[in-house]
C-alpha cells in the first residue's frame, strides 16, 4: 500500500508542476523530494522523457477551452452550463496528465521493489574456486588474483605453481625451495584443488584448511586437515600417507576417500571409495580400524570412539562432482552444508524444524533459491525468507 499512496502523492506533484497548476508549497515539496536522494532525481528525469506523458502535456498545452466550448455549443445550443462545462473540460485535461504521471510513478516504484527482491535472491550465488595460500613465515597469496610477479614468487620461494584452479607442488629441478609447511585455506563459498609433491590429488571443500609440506621428507607423507577434503592418494609402499585430524589419523598407502572433519561437527566421517584405510585414535592404545570400500568410519569426538557402517558413498563425495545428495538428512545438517557453500546464515524460527528430514539431489552450482523451490514442493509447509545473507526458516 505504501507504493500506491506514494505514487499518488508524487505523481500528482509532478503532473501539476508540468502543467503549471502546482502551488508554491507543492513545488517546494517536489523540489525537496527530488533532492532527497539520487534515485528520486533519476525517476524525475526518466518521467520527463516518457513519451506518453510528454504527449499528454502537449495535448494539454494545445487545448483551447473557448474553441472546444463553441464547437459544443453549436451542437447542443444554450449557454446555461457554459462555465461548468468549460471547467470540466479543463479539469479532464488536467486529470489526463495527473493520471498518466501517477501510473508511471507507480509502475516505476513497483518494478524497483521487484528488482530489489530478485537481486537479493540472485546475490546468493554458489561458491567458486577460491583459496589463499599461507607460508609458515606469514606470507599470504590470494590464488584468485595472482599476477605474474606473484606466480614467480610462489615458484621461487615455496616451490608451488598455480595452473588454472589448481595449485601444484612443482618438481622443477631449478627450484631450490627449502622444505616448508604451507597452509591452503578455502573460505566459506570457496573450493580448490591441490596436487601435492607426490602427485596425490586433494579437493578441498568450502571453509577448510589443508596444512602440507612443499616437499615430503622422512618416512611418511603427513598432511593436516580441518574441514572437508577428497583424497586420491598416489601409492607408495615405502611412504605411508597420513591425514592428521582433530583426535584421529587416517593412514593409507594408495586409495581414494573423503574426510569431513569440521570443528563444529560432533563427529569426523571418513568414507572409503576404493583401496583400504586405517583409522587411528591419537593418544590411544586401541587397535586401528580398517575400512573397506563402501564403508564409513565415524569418530565421535565426545565419546572418543569409532563406529563403522555401510553407506552409499555417492552421498558423501557428490560435492566434488558438483552435486548435493541428501539421504534422509535433517534440515539442520543440510543447512549447515549450505551455509559453508553459499556463505549464508540460517535462522530457525522453530527449533522443531531442525529435525525435519529430507532426501533429494541438487546441483551444487545452482542459485540457492532453486534448492528452496524444490524443498517447498515437498509439501512440508516450510518456507525460506531471504534477507540478504540471513535466511529465516519458518512454517
The pLDDT tens digits for 276-306 are 999 988 666 456 889 999 999 999 888 888 8
Task: Judge if 331 and 254 occupy the same domain.
Answer: no
- Asked if 214 and 362 sit in the same domain, the reply is no
Residue range(s) defining the domain that contains residue 293: 128-312
Please write the tens of the pLDDT for every residue from 190-228.
999 999 989 999 999 999 999 999 888 888 999 999 999
Q: Are residues 112 and 30 in the same domain?
A: yes
What backbone phi and psi angles, to 5 degrees, belong to 293?
A: -55, 135
Average pLDDT per consecutive 10 residues, the chain (395 residues; last block may be shorter)? 58 72 80 77 69 55 52 48 47 56 59 44 78 90 89 84 85 59 95 94 97 88 96 92 90 92 92 93 70 93 89 93 90 94 93 89 88 79 84 90
158/295 same-domain check: yes
Give yes or no: residues 335 and 305 share one domain: no
- Paired with 358 in beta bridges are 329
Q: Are residues 232 and 160 located together in one domain of the fold?
A: yes
Do 299 and 158 lie in a common domain?
yes
From 312, 340, 369, give the residue that closes a domain: 312
Give the domain-ending residue among 312, 338, 355.
312
Please check whether residue 90 lies inside any domain of the structure.
yes
- Which whole-number Å values give the CA distances from 107 to 14, 30, 46, 104, 221, in the listed order? 15, 19, 12, 5, 65
- For residues 261 and 242, membership in a common domain is answered with yes
**What's the pLDDT score for residue 15?**
73
Eight-state DSSP code of residue 21: -
Asked whether the beta carbons of 155 and 172 are under 8 A apart, the reply is: yes
Rounded Cα–Cα distance for residues 206 and 314 (Å): 18
Q: Which residue has the cell 516504484?
A: 109
**What pLDDT does residue 335 have?**
94
Q: Is residue 317 part of a domain?
A: no
* CB of 270 closer than 8 Å to CB of 250: yes
Residue 261 lies in a domain: yes
| 45 CB-contact burial (10 Å; exposed 0-12 / middle 13-18 / buried 19+) | exposed
* DSSP 8-state symbol, 353: G
Looking at residue 173, its pLDDT comes to 44
- Return the pLDDT at 10: 72
Provide the number of structural domains found in the chain.
3
Look up the CATH number of the domain holding residue 182: 2.60.120.1440
178 and 261 housed in the same domain: yes
Q: Tell me the torsion sign for CA atoms 305, 306, 310, 315.
A: positive
Do residue 179 and residue 81 come from a single domain? no
Same domain, 147 and 274: yes
Which CATH number fits the domain that encloses residue 357?
3.55.50.30
295, 385: one domain: no
Length of the chain, please? 395
The model's pTM: 0.67
Query: End of a domain among 312, 336, 361?
Result: 312
Return the pLDDT at 106: 57
pLDDT given for residue 333 in this prediction: 92
Amino acid at each position: 500500500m505504501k507504493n500506491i499512496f506514494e505514487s499518488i502523492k508524487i505523481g500528482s506533484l509532478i503532473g501539476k508542476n508540468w502543467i503549471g497548476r502546482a502551488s508554491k508549497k507543492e513545488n517546494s515539496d517536489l523540489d525537496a523530494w527530488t533532492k532527497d536522494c539520487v534515485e528520486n532525481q533519476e525517476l524525475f528525469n526518466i518521467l520527463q522523457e516518457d513519451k506518453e506523458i510528454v504527449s499528454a502535456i502537449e495535448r494539454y498545452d494545445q487545448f483551447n477551452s473557448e474553441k472546444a466550448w463553441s464547437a459544443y455549443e453549436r451542437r447542443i445550443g444554450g449557454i446555461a452550463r457554459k462555465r461548468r462545462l468549460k471547467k470540466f473540460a479543463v479539469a479532464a485535461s488536467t486529470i489526463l496528465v495527473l493520471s498518466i504521471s501517477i501510473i508511471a510513478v507507480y509502475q516505476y516504484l513497483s518494478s524497483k521493489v521487484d528488482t530489489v527482491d530478485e537481486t537479493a535472491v540472485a546475490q546468493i550465488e554458489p561458491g567458486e574456486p577460491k583459496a589463499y595460500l599461507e607460508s609458515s613465515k606469514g606470507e599470504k597469496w590470494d590464488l584468485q588474483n595472482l599476477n605474474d610477479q606473484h606466480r614467480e614468487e610462489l615458484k621461487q620461494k615455496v616451490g608451488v605453481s598455480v595452473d588454472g584452479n589448481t595449485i601444484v607442488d612443482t618438481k622443477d629441478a631449478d627450484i631450490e625451495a627449502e622444505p616448508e609447511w604451507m597452509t591452503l585455506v578455502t573460505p566459506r563459498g570457496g573450493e580448490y584443488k591441490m596436487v601435492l609433491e607426490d602427485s596425490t590429488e586433494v579437493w578441498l571443500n568450502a571453509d577448510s584448511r589443508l596444512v602440507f609440506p612443499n616437499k615430503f621428507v622422512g618416512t611418511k607423507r603427513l598432511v593436516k586437515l580441518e574441514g572437508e577434503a577428497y583424497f586420491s592418494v598416489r601409492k607408495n609402499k615405502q611412504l605411508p600417507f597420513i591425514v592428521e585430524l582433530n583426535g584421529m589419523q587416517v593412514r593409507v598407502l594408495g586409495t581414494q576417500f573423503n574426510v569431513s572433519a569440521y570443528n563444529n561437527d560432533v563427529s569426523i566421517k571418513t568414507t572409503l571409495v576404493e583401496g583400504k584405510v586405517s583409522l587411528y585414535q591419537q593418544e590411544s592404545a586401541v587397535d586401528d580400524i580398517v575400512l573397506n570400500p563402501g564403508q564409513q568410519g565415524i569418530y565421535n569426538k565426545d565419546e572418543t570412539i569409532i563406529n563403522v557402517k555401510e553407506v552409499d558413498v555417492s552421498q558423501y563425495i557428490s560435492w566434488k562432482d558438483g552435486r548435493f545428495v541428501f539421504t534422509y538428512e535433517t534440515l539442520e545438517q543440510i543447512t549447515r552444508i549450505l551455509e559453508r557453500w553459499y556463505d549464508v546464515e540460517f535462522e530457525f524460527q522453530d527449533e522443531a524444524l531442525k529435525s525435519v528430514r529430507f532426501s533429494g539431489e541438487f546441483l551444487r552450482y545452482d542459485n540457492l533459491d532453486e534448492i528452496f523451490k524444490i524443498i517447498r514442493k515437498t509439501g512440508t509447509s516450510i518456507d525460506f525468507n531471504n534477507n540478504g545473507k540471513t535466511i529465516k526458516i519458518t512454517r
